[in-house]
Amino acid sequence: MHKTPAIVILGAASLPTARRIQRRYPQAPVYALQGRVEADIAYADFGATLRVLYQSGTPIVALCAAGIVIRSLAPVLADKEQEPPVLAVAEDASAVVPLLGGLAGVNHIAREIAAIFGIEAAITTAGELRFGTCLLNPPDGYALADVEEGKRFVADLLGGETVRVEGEAPWLAAARLPLDEDAGRRIRVSCVRTAASDELLIHPRALVLAVDAGEADLADKVRATLAAHGLAEAALAGLL
């Protein structure tokens, strides 16, 4: 998880569960309704608090009914690619339900929290259930070239298309993909900038570029150098 989550509760009955989740994420504050229960941060309006956290990109772990979270966030839901992870957790820890943020690792967080309580997370993402991995949310060290193309690609696989994999990606080797060496569609793990048709391009963060210290317009020159060699910016791991 790249950003510390906020754990939000409504009543005192949720506090023990919240504190157990907090032990997994020690920097995560527990937000509680003012005057009802003492926690780390008091709030006056549940819905407004969720919306502020959501719009700031903060992952939300809400210990309440999923419906309350959905109704609270409905007015600010917009770009799926930008949304943070949002989960609903039952106050007695009997259920962990990822609601939003599939591209931001919500299912991974849901599994981490579910493991605290020895239960299974309620994963509903079709691609992840079928293939055992989320192609639209590669692990650290990899970046998807085009999310929209990725959505179409995953839809084709769910519809029965087969695929071949080119390039080094151990996490894909462990997935349950419909592999076929002669498949017309392929997943290519490469630093190249542009994808071919019927191809899902995933960039490994594998490029290192040597630069002169203090060079003017460095960012523009780095971009131009990568473009001139047909390489993707997302594949850049660091500068020397």
Backbone angles phi, psi at 74, to 5 degrees: -50, -40
Residue-wise pLDDT tens digits, 45-60: 999 999 999 999 999 9
Task: Please check the confidence at residue 1 and state whether its pLDDT lies above 60.
Answer: no
pLDDT in tens, 161-206: 999 999 988 888 888 999 999 998 999 999 999 888 889 999 999 9
Q: What percent of the chain has pLDDT over 70?
A: 98
Summarised one tens digit per residue, pLDDT across range 103-135 is: 888 999 999 999 999 999 998 888 888 898 888
Name the pTM for this structure.
Answer: 0.76
Distance CA 98, CA 152 (A): 22
Tokens of 187: 């997943």
- Whether 42 has a pLDDT exceeding 90, the answer reads yes
Q: Strand (E) positions, the chain?
A: 6-9, 30-33, 41-43, 60-63, 86-89, 96-100, 142-144, 163-166, 185-189, 199-204, 207-209, 236-239
